[in-house]
Structures are given as C-alpha cells and as structure tokens.
C-alpha cells in the first residue's frame, strides 16, 4: 500500500471534528449562548475594556465590529459564543470565522476575549475548547488538500493570552512590528516615476486597487485574497480616509500599480494621547518594483497627514517581509514602538 503524505489528503479527510459542538457548561456563574446582532454594542464595550489590557492603543470601532458580525460567511448561531454573568452583563465573547478565500492555506480566524475582572476562573479555557471544536468543524468542510489553520494574534504585552493559546497547541508563527513616524520631522517629497500618474484613491479606483492588493500580497505570509464584498465594506467604514490615500496609475493600461491606503480612528487618539493616521496597506506590483514607487507614495501620504493636522503616521509590517519593507520604512524615518504575533495551530 502506497504511503500518502498527510497534506495530500483533503482537510475533510484528515481533520478530526466532532459532529456536534455544544455550548460550554456554566462556569463561575457565567452562562453561554450564541451572539445576535443586537449584542454588538455590549460586546464592543467589553472589547474596549479588555483592549486597554490586551492591546493598548488599538481600538476596534463599533462599525468594524458590526461588519464582522454581519459577514456572509458568519452564522452567528454556530460560529459565535457569548458569556453572560448572572445580571446579564457580557463578560466574554468568541467567534470562529472560516475565510471564504484561500491561497496556500484554509484559515479559520479565532477571536474573542474575557473581561479582565473575570479572568482566572476558567472562562478562557472554556472558550478555547469551543474554538477548537468549532474550528475543526469548519476546516473539515473543505475538500482542499491544503494546510488548515486555526489562527489568532496577540500584542506581545498580552502574555496571558499568548500562554493560553500556546497551551492549546498554537505556535508563535510570525512577528509583526508596529512602527511610527513623527510628522514634525523633515519629510522629503519623492517624485513619482513620470510614466505614472499620481491619483487620490476614490470609489472609481476601488476595484482596480483591490485587484492590485491581491496581486501584491500573493506571496506574503498568511495573506489571503480580499473579496469584493469585504473590500467595499471596508471602504464604507467611517475610519476609511480616501482623501489621505494615494495610488499610482499606469495611464497606458489604467492599471493601479502601487498604493498607500489610510484609515483614521479618532478613538485611538484618546488612548495614545496624540493624533495619528494609520497606513493600512502599502503595495507595489512586481513589474514596477525598484522604481521608488513606495517611497514616493509614502512621502506624499505623510505630507497629506501633516497638512490634515495629524502628528504621527503608524503602520504594521511583517518582520520577515519578502519585499524588504522594514528597511524601506526605517530609511524614511519610521521607528519600532511595539510588536504583535500571529498564533497558528496547523491541522
């Protein structure tokens, strides 16, 4: 009988998943049920409280959270969990979301938290057990012969969270650097390649930029294509700032060949004590790399930030980026201020 490598088998064939996932048993006076859309505000408030401990400086907006709950691929009845204290207060939440897109992996995003005052009572362990069972169920729906990931993330300051995930078999797979640039320092404007046109991002450029993004990040670790629906929903969020986002267009083809996209979350200014813009994406298509496009668009973006009254530019970068992005950012004045890590359990 011929031996078949495990990854040559489909996830459906090789992932051991329970037929039924039950809600956790009541623990420490906390009972469990699935989420509903009406719970979004209460969960968001919990996330803000927990975030001050787990990821200070990063604040998820209510609109972004509502978008995550309403994704087409999410069935709240099976994919979510809510922990309620005796008085009805939300003290824990969890979700497992199977990505509708796949590249080199099939990925289930594992998210959630426990209120800081309720930690150490077994709620986190109950959530992880539920994550594991539901995540396995979702991966086992795939007929693809690809690695299957249960994936989450953590700020390096959230040591308890990292330890909990490690105890459930997750690896610290990839580190990400958070960088900042003081816009009061000199910004040298770099001219764009004259063969291209500098253009503010807007609705008419949404789809060409999405296609460019998916092409650029095709070889980036853990990156999956972004669907048209997800891209449009992100563009519609109040924090999206097309007026501070720049693209480079090839006039001969009307193709977007490079981009820098921005969001501005004023709720984070309170936590940080300063104004800032966040650079969501920086990308250059392969055929145009080596022409200084990223540097040109970044300089234009930072000047736009300063003109808008922002004090800092912030971004996150893969510490092992295949494009040498870390050196680029360092060369134009960005400095590291924090790290986070991708946590992966591969099945």
226 lies in the same domain as 158: no
In the predicted structure, residue 30 carries a pLDDT above the cut 80: yes
* pLDDT, position 319: 87
193 lies in the same domain as 163: no
Q: Are 347 and 201 in contact (CB under 8 A)?
A: no
| Residue 345 included in any domain | no
In the predicted structure, residue 322 carries a pLDDT above the cut 80: no
Which residues lie below 8 Å from residue 174, measured CB to CB, with a gap of 6+?
221, 222, 318, 319, 320, 341, 342
Which residues lie below 8 Å from residue 29, measured CB to CB, with a gap of 6+?
85, 86
Q: Which of 115, 141, 169 is the last residue of a domain?
A: 169
144 lies in the same domain as 274: no
| Residue 156 included in any domain | yes
* pLDDT, position 169: 98
pLDDT tens per residue, range 285-300: 999 999 999 999 999 9
Residue 281: burial class (beta carbons within 10 Å; 0-12, 13-18, 19+): middle
Q: What is the mean pLDDT of residues 37-58?
A: 93
Higher local confidence (pLDDT), 102 or 329 = 329
Q: Which of 169, 200, 233 is the last residue of a domain?
A: 169
Distance CA 246, CA 242 (A): 8
| Residue 75 included in any domain | yes
Residue percentage of the chain with pLDDT more than 70: 97
139 lies in the same domain as 31: yes
Which residues lie across from 262 on neighbouring strands?
279
| Residue 111 included in any domain | yes
Q: How confident is the model at residue 274 (pLDDT cuts 50, 70, 90)?
A: very high
158 lies in the same domain as 13: yes
Q: What is the mean pLDDT of residues 236-249?
A: 97
| Residue 89 included in any domain | yes
82 lies in the same domain as 193: no
Helix (H, G, I), strand (E, B) or coil at 224: coil
Distance CA 83, CA 120 (A): 15
| Residue 1 included in any domain | no
In the predicted structure, residue 301 carries a pLDDT above the cut 50: yes
Total of domains in the chain: 2
145 lies in the same domain as 16: yes
Taking alpha carbons only, the member of 234, 314, 330 closest to residue 275 is: 314
Domain that holds residue 321: 178-339
In the predicted structure, residue 217 carries a pLDDT above the cut 80: yes
191 lies in the same domain as 277: yes
Helix (H, G, I), strand (E, B) or coil at 169: coil
In the predicted structure, residue 4 carries a pLDDT above the cut 60: no
Round the average pLDDT of the chain to a whole number and report it. Answer: 94
17 lies in the same domain as 158: yes
Beta strands in 16-77 (DSSP E): 31-33
85 lies in the same domain as 204: no
* pLDDT, position 320: 85
Q: Which of 169, 187, 217 is the last residue of a domain?
A: 169
184 lies in the same domain as 333: yes
Provide the CATH number for the domain around residue 157.
3.40.630.30
| Residue 224 included in any domain | yes
Helix (H, G, I), strand (E, B) or coil at 226: coil
152 lies in the same domain as 197: no
| Residue 347 included in any domain | no
């Amino acid at each position: 009988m011929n031996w078949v490598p495990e990854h040559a088998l489909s996830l459906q064939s090789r992932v051991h998943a329970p037929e039924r996932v039950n809600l956790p048993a009541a623990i420490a006076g906390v009972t469990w049920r699935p989420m509903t859309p009406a719970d979004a505000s209460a969960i968001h408030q919990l996330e803000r409280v927990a975030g001050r401990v787990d990821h200070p400086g990063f604040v998820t907006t209510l609109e972004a959270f509502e978008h995550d709950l309403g994704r087409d691929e999410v069935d709240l009845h099976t994919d979510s969990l809510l922990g309620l204290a005796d008085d009805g207060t939300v003290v824990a939440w969890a979700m497992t979301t199977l990505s509708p897109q796949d590249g080199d992996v099939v990925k289930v995003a594992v998210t959630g938290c426990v209120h800081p005052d309720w930690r150490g009572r077994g709620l986190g362990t109950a959530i992880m057990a539920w994550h594991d069972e539901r995540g396995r169920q979702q991966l086992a729906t795939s007929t693809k012969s690809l690695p299957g990931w249960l994936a989450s993330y953590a700020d390096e300051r959230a040591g308890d969270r990292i330890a909990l995930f490690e105890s459930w078999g997750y690896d610290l797979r990839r580190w990400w650097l958070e960088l900042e640039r003081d816009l009061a320092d000199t910004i040298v404007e770099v001219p764009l390649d004259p063969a291209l046109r500098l253009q503010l991002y807007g609705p008419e450029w949404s789809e060409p930029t999405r296609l460019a993004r998916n092409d650029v990040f095709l070889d980036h670790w853990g990156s999956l294509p972004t669907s048209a629906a997800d891209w449009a929903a992100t563009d519609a969020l109040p924090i999206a700032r097309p007026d501070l986002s720049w693209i480079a267009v090839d006039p001969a083809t009307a193709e977007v060949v490079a981009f820098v996209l921005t969001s501005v979350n004023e709720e984070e200014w309170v936590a940080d004590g300063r104004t800032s813009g966040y650079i969501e994406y920086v990308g250059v298509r392969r055929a145009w790399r080596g022409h200084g496009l990223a540097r040109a668009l970044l300089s234009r973006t930072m000047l736009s930030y300063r003109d808008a009254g922002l004090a800092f530019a912030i971004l996150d970068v893969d510490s092992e980026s295949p494009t040498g992005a870390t050196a680029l950012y360092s060369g134009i004045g960005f400095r590291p201020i924090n790290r986070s890590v991708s946590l992966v359990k591969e099945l």
